[in-house]
Amino acid sequence: MSEAFLGSFASLDAILGGKSTKTSVPIYAVAKADVKKWLAGQAASVKGWAKSTDFTPRKGKTLLLPKRDGTLHGVLFVRPDAPDPFEWSRLPAELPKGRYYVHGELDAAQADAAALGWALALYRFDRYKEKPPAPGKKLAWPTGADEGRVRRLLEATFLVRDLINLPANDMGPAELEAAALALAGRHGAKARVVRGDDLLAERYPSIHAVGRASSRAPRLVDLTWGDPSHPKVTLVGKGVCFDTGGLDLKPASNMLLMKKDMGGAAHVLGLAHAVMDAGLKVRLRVLVPAVENSVSGDAFRPNDVLQTRKGITVEVGNTDAEGRLILSDALTDACEEIPALLVDFATLTGAARVALGAELPALFCNDDALAADILDAGTAARDPLWRLPLHDDYDRFLDSKVADVSNTGSSSFGGAITAALFLRRFVSGGTPWAHVDLMAWNSDSRAGRPRGGEAMALRAFYTLLERRYGA
161 is catalytic: no
Looking at the structure, do residues 282 and 159 belong to the same domain, yes or no? yes
Q: Give the pLDDT confidence of 300-354 residue by residue, as tens digits.
A: 999 999 999 999 999 999 999 999 999 999 999 999 999 999 999 999 999 999 9
463 with 381: CB under 8 angstroms? Answer: yes
| Residue 65: strand pairing partners | 74
Q: Quick check: 5 pLDDT over 70?
A: no
Please check whether residue 347 lies inside any domain of the structure.
yes
Q: Does 101 share its domain with 197? A: no
Q: Does residue 450 lie within any of the structural domains?
A: yes
The stretch 374-401 carries a mean pLDDT of: 98
398 pLDDT above the threshold of 50: yes
CATH number at residue 72: 3.40.220.10
Decide if 269 is inside a domain. yes
User: Same domain, yes or no, for 79 and 164?
Assistant: no
123 and 245 fall within a common domain: no
Do the beta carbons of residue 85 and residue 113 sit within 8 Å?
A: yes
Q: Are residues 159 and 254 in the same domain?
A: yes
237 shares a domain with 97:
no
Considering 137, 151, 283, 324, which one is annotated as catalytic? Answer: 324
Indicate the number of domains in the chain.
2
- The answer to whether residue 324 is catalytic is yes
Q: Across the chain, what does the average pLDDT equal?
A: 96
Rounded Cα–Cα distance for residues 290 and 292 (Å)? 7
The answer on 193 and 128 residing in a single domain is no
The residue from 112, 145, 178 where one domain ends is 145
Residue 52 lies in a domain: yes
For residue 279, is it within any domain? yes
The predicted-structure confidence for 251-260, as pLDDT tens digits, reads as follows 999 999 999 9
Q: DSSP character for 449?
A: B
- Listed residues 90, 114, 145: the one ending a domain: 145
CATH number of the structural domain spanning residue 213: 3.40.630.10
Q: How far is CA 276 from CA 33, 147, 368, 441, in A?
A: 41, 16, 27, 25
Q: Which of 145, 162, 184 is the last residue in one of the domains?
A: 145
pLDDT for the residue 2: 47
Task: Let me know whether 187 and 166 are in one domain.
Answer: yes
Residues 254 and 403 grouped into a single domain: yes
Do 285 and 159 reside in the same domain of the chain?
A: yes
Would residue 2 count as lying in a domain?
A: no
* Cβ atoms of residues 196 and 218 within 8 Å: yes
Range of the domain at 452: 150-469
Tell me: do 240 and 364 sit in the same domain.
Answer: yes
Mark whether 141 and 154 lie in a shared domain.
no
How far lies 88's CA from each of 101, 121, 446, in Å?
13, 9, 12
* Catalytic residue (one of 59, 127, 203, 250): 250
